[in-house]
Amino acid sequence: MEALLLVLAIPLVGSAVLAFTGHRDFARDVNVAFSLGTFLAACALTARIVSGGPLLALDDAFFIDPLNVFLVTLTAFVGLTTSIFSRPYMRVEQDHGKMTPARLRLYHSMYQLFSFTMLMALTTNNMGLLWVAMEAATLATVLLVSVYRTAASLEAAWKYFILCGVGIALALFGTVLLYMAAEKVLGSEGGALLWTRLDTVKARLDPNIITLAFAFLFIGYGTKVGLVPLHNWLPDAHAEGPTPVSAVLSGLLLNVAMYAVLRCKVLTDGALGNALAGRLLMGFGLISVVVAAFFLSRQKDVKRMFAYSSIEHMGLIAFAFGLGGPIANFAGLLHMTVHSLVKSAIFFAVGHATQKAGTQVMADIRGLIKVSPTVGWGMMLGSLAILGMPPFGVFASEFLILTTAMREQPWATPFLLLALGVAFASVFGRVLPMVFGETSVKPLAHSPALLPVFLHLGLGLMLGLYVPPYLVGWYTQAARMLGG
């Protein structure tokens, strides 16, 4: 309970403090400190859930169960490591004149606010507030994407705002319909949007309304997940914003949006008693995997390429949850975790690499390993990990997803394998010359923060070799709850 309040209060206070003090040299350390506080509070909350089971707090306004507690911890953890990474990164940007004190103030304050909105979206029990928090997360990141004020970043941010704004508005319509269905069963005395209450009466919700509601919710939150054909904002926003923002967008925001879809899916499955939600997830997931893999092969900008890789992996996750059943759900949750860890590690390495090379164009980045072996290796290992090479965790989850798909939806496996193959060939073929070969990059004034890169990759490796029993416990419980 106290831990929960701390998890939400620390980033909110942090945002206010960083906004009011303005930019000082210690602001980046304050940012790390608040992120660390959030992470510790999240750990305390996790310990409380592990020992005491699901928690309903503050008049049922907040609900923590194994599904969201693991995402809360992951969000707080990646939030912390990204803030550590952004310290040297932002110093270099400041030296290059891309960040002014005013922009840094905005950046740090919005960074904390973004953490708050994501944690709010994860912990709230109210489907309406989930929507509000998701929209607030969009607003906070719009400002982060456009922070450089270049033509390209403004375009990316405008596209992001309008597309996600429209998407999320459709999700609001879905929420209204959900409330309409719930109100008939639960009455309008509040509580009709509380997920826990909806969950208990889901079988009695009107199937007609719920079908339409899920369609809107799926399109809405699916836009934020970045599912094809609603993915247009994602590569732009990832490529044009500062790299720490790309890392949290890819590693965290997409997960939170996926979480929203999952909560809706559970209700829809219960109300309809058929596989509509699963089919939709599977179909859009598969399209995303295939389309993203082919777009991936055509990219020239390194951050854009990895943005498409995020679309591909979110598609794979959607496909896994669409398959349903304990193993596919387990694999989906595991994939969410490892993708988030590995992808943010890649963005950290890419961030340092692009700063050294002074460009994001892959053809101009060469021979990283000669100038900075650690950044080069980080990028190489990260790419291998995200491409699903054993022994990294992505291999384990992809293996589980593929074997389940072979058993239950054999028609889908050739597409998945083809897409994974194309993605492998194109990413590996591009990363290799960037890391090895003759060099053109210069060393930087501030030494890069490589702890987060290798910490994430290490965890990704660990999850491939050995998943700790309490984590298995969470995943299994969450997978059971997701059903399907």
Partner 1 sequence: MSLLATQLINLFAAAILLLAFAMISQRRILSLIHLFTLQGIALVAATAVVGYVTRQPHLYLSAGLTFLLKVILIPLLLHRVIKRLDVRWDVEALINVPTTMLIGIVLVIFAFNLAQPIARLSLSIAGGTLGIALACVLLSFMMMIIRSKAVPQVIGFLSMENGLFFAATSATYGMPMVVELGIALDVLVGILILGVFMFQIREQFDSLDIRHLEKLKDS
- Give the residues lining the site for partner 1 (CB under 8 A): 126, 128-129, 131-132, 135-136, 139, 142-143, 146, 149-152, 154-159, 161-162, 165-166, 169-170, 172-173, 175-177, 179-180, 183-184, 188, 190, 192-193, 206, 208-209, 212, 235-236, 239-240, 295, 298-300, 304
Crossing angle for the helix pair 325-357 and 393-408, nearest 10 degrees?
A: 140
Measured from the CB of residue 372, what is the shortest distance to partner 1 in angstroms? 29
Nearer to partner 1, 236 or 269 (CB): 236
- Contact criterion met (CB below 8 Å) for 452 and 348: yes
Give least dist CB 152 to partner 1, A: 6
Contact between 367 and 387 under an 8 Å Cβ cutoff? The reply is: no
Select 149 or 442, whichever has its Cβ closest to partner 1.
149
Nearest residue to 379 (alpha-carbon basis) of 329, 454, 440, 308: 454
Q: How far is the CB of 148 from partner 1 (least distance, A)?
A: 11
Of 154 and 481, CB closest to partner 1: 154
Angle at 118 between CA 114 and CA 123, to 5 degrees: 145
The nearer residue to partner 1, 12 or 396, going by C-beta atoms, is 12
Give the shortest CB-229-to-partner 1 separation in angstroms: 13
- Nearer to partner 1 by Cβ, of 24 and 149: the residue is 149
Residue number with CB closer to partner 1 (57 or 169): 169
Q: Which residues contact 348 (CB under 8 A, 6 or more apart)?
A: 81, 82, 85, 243, 247, 378, 449, 450, 452, 453, 456
For residue 209, the minimal CB distance to partner 1 (Å) is: 5
Least separation in angstroms between CB 416 and partner 1: 22
User: By the 8 A CB rule, do 168 and 220 touch?
Assistant: yes
Q: Least distance to partner 1 from the beta carbon of 11, Å?
A: 17
| C-beta of 300 vs 480, nearer to partner 1 | 300
